[in-house]
């Protein structure tokens, strides 16, 4: 199965500018291709992973992907997918984000020698306004630009000249990478179709209409329940371990719906067709074992955070399932309880009832006493049934945390001031 057929089987292709032509080129020789990301933040989230996983697939097939960090385009803002103007970032913030994303990309793809990282600021920083208008602006028809969906969708609300020209800058990227690195394919999200086709048009005008360049977009990822993929009650799932801990990251994938898990295995892992089909059968016949979800969590977490992170996440999961939180290290507590209700308390010993009220677990002392007397309160893994019991925050987790469980599943965390 060639790379395009594999992507089709995985459901990873939305649109192609010339499917037959691209297939012929790929069957004839290995190609260079690129995908870009603007430094609007200092970390990618899991939604960004999809096109870059495709880049990794191309690399493993012997092709030569270029990951473009948009130090230039990111400084003006892509209007795609937005109803209003972006708030411009300072150049210091843009440069910080460029460095952070570059480091993240190297962590993800640095071991693959076929993948290179470039920054479009390098070839645009010396471009004068007059050269921009004469060499490139003259080749773009305003009527054509207005008809691009990304621009047309903004005309009622208004769009600045800055964001209007974004597609010209991205087109220059494709032209530059084609002329200097022989890039023949650009990959992007479904909202990048207009920008990609603008780049192809520019290359055809400058390098000739028979120049073999192509565009491919990926589908918008939607969960089986119709909601947007990658969002949780706690917000986005980030690749930066300081924003989303490896344990939370692992749990996100492990908790996927049976209706979605096979689709995600196709998108986010490098398992082959036979392996995924076997897991699909197990989802049908033994869904309670959640084997497909476990494999998904292991594969994606290892790709992003490494094998040690998988082992640590599984260790934390096992400890929490058994209810023996005392086996957790201080660092593991921070990972495992990052998204539970959290409060701050002093480092002084405190009566259990006062602790429950201070942490916001119960609203009244009467309810707190009932919970303790009914055996519903566990502190640091120990069931507390004496309403006069005193809790010393220094007893566990290096004096940094107190973990309270109410009932079987509801956890609360106190950080020690």
Q: Where do the structural domains in the chain lie, given as residue ranges? A: 3-218, 231-322, 342-416
Judge whether residue 404 has pLDDT over 90.
yes
Taking 3-state DSSP, the helix, strand and coil percentages for the chain, each rounded to the nearest 5, stand at: 50, 15, 35
State yes or no: 231 annotated in a binding site. yes
CATH class of segment(s) 231-322: mainly alpha
Q: Is 136 annotated as a binding residue?
A: no
CB 214 within 8 A of CB 200: yes
pTM, to two decimals: 0.86
DSSP conformational letter for 399: G
List, as own/partner pairs, every contact residues 20-28 make where C-beta atoms lie below 8 angstroms and the sequence separation is at least 24, other chains included. Answer: 21/212, 21/214, 22/185, 22/214, 22/216, 25/184, 25/212, 25/214, 26/2, 26/63, 27/2
pLDDT digits (tens, 9 = 90+) for 309-351: 999 999 998 888 877 888 899 998 988 888 788 999 998 999 9
Largest CA distance in the chain: 85
Task: Return the number of other C-beta atoms located less than 10 Å from residue 367's C-beta.
Answer: 14
In this structure, whether the domain defined by 342-416 belongs to CATH 3.10.290.10 is answered with yes
| Token pair for 392 | 């010393």
- Give the H or E element holding residue 15: strand 15-16
For residue 170, say whether it is annotated as part of any ligand binding site: yes
Query: What is the Cα Rg of the chain in Å?
Result: 26
Residue from 299, 244, 306 nearest 266 by CA? 299
CATH number of 3-218: 3.40.50.620
Lowest mean pLDDT of 80-84, 99-103, 357-361, 382-386, name the range.
Answer: 80-84
Tokens of 317: 């999961």
Q: How many CB atoms lie within 10 A of CB 186?
A: 29
Residue 60, pLDDT above cutoff 70: yes
Rounded alpha-carbon distances, angstroms, from residue 149 to 162, 171, 285, 416? 17, 16, 44, 52
pLDDT attached to residue 37: 94
- Which of 249, 241, 356 lies closest to 297 in space, CA to CA? 249
Q: Which two tokens stand for residue 7?
A: 């992507």
Q: Strand, coil or helix: what is 392?
A: coil
Instruction: Give dist(CA 192, CA 136) in Å, integer.
Output: 20
Helix (H, G, I), strand (E, B) or coil at 18: coil
Q: State pLDDT tens for residues 231-284.
A: 665 678 999 998 999 999 999 999 999 999 999 999 999 999 999 999 999 999
Topology agreement, domain 231-322 and domain 342-416: no
Q: What is the pLDDT of residues 271-324, one digit of tens each?
A: 999 999 999 999 999 999 999 999 999 999 999 999 999 999 999 988 888 778
166 is in an annotated binding site: yes
Instruction: Identify the residue whose tokens are 């399932």.
Output: 321
Residues 84 and 156: beta-carbon distance below 8 Å: no
């Amino acid at each position: 199965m060639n790379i395009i057929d594999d992507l089709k089987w995985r459901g990873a292709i939305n649109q192609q500018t010339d499917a037959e032509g691209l297939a012929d080129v790929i069957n004839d020789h290995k190609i260079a291709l690129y995908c870009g990301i603007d430094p609007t933040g200092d970390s990618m989230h899991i939604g960004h992973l999809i096109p870059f996983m495709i880049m990794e697939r191309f690399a493993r097939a012997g092709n030569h992907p270029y990951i473009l960090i948009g130090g230039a385009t990111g400084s003006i803002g892509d209007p795609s997918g937005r109803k209003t103007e972006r708030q411009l970032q300072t150049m210091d913030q843009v440069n910080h984000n460029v460095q952070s994303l570059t480091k993240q990309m190297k962590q993800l793809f640095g071991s693959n020698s076929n993948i290179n990282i470039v920054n479009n600021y390098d070839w645009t920083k010396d471009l004068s306004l007059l050269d921009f208008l004469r060499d490139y602006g003259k080749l773009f028809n305003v009527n054509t630009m207005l008809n691009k969906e990304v621009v047309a969708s903004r005309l009622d609300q208004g769009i600045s000249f800055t964001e209007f020209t974004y597609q010209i800058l991205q087109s220059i990227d494709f032209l530059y990478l084609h002329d200097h690195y022989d890039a023949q394919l650009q990959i992007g999200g479904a909202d990048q179709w207009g920008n990609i086709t603008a780049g192809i048009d520019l290359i055809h005008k400058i390098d000739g209409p028979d120049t073999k360049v192509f565009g491919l977009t990926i589908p918008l990822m939607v969960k089986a329940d119709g909601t947007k993929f990658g969002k949780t009650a706690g917000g986005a799932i980030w690749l930066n371990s300081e924003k989303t801990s490896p344990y939370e990251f692992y749990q996100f994938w492990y908790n996927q719906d049976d209706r979605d898990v096979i689709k995600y295995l196709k998108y986010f892992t490098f398992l082959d067709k036979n392996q995924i089909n076997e897991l699909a059968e197990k989802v049908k016949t033994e869904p309670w074992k959640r084997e497909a979800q476990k494999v998904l969590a292991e594969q994606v977490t290892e790709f992003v955070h490494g094998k040690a992170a998988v082992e640590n996440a599984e260790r934390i999961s096992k400890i929490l399932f058994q209810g023996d939180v005392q086996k957790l290290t201080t660092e593991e507590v921070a990972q495992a309880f990052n998204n539970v209700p959290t409060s701050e308390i002093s480092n002084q010993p405190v009566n259990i009832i006062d602790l429950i009220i201070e942490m916001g677990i119960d609203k009244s002392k009467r309810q707190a006493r009932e919970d303790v007397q009914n055996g519903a309160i566990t502190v640091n893994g120990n069931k507390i049934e004496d309403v006069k019991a005193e809790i010393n925050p220094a007893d566990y987790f290096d004096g940094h945390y107190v973990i309270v469980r109410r009932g079987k599943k509801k956890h609360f965390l106190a950080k020690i001031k």
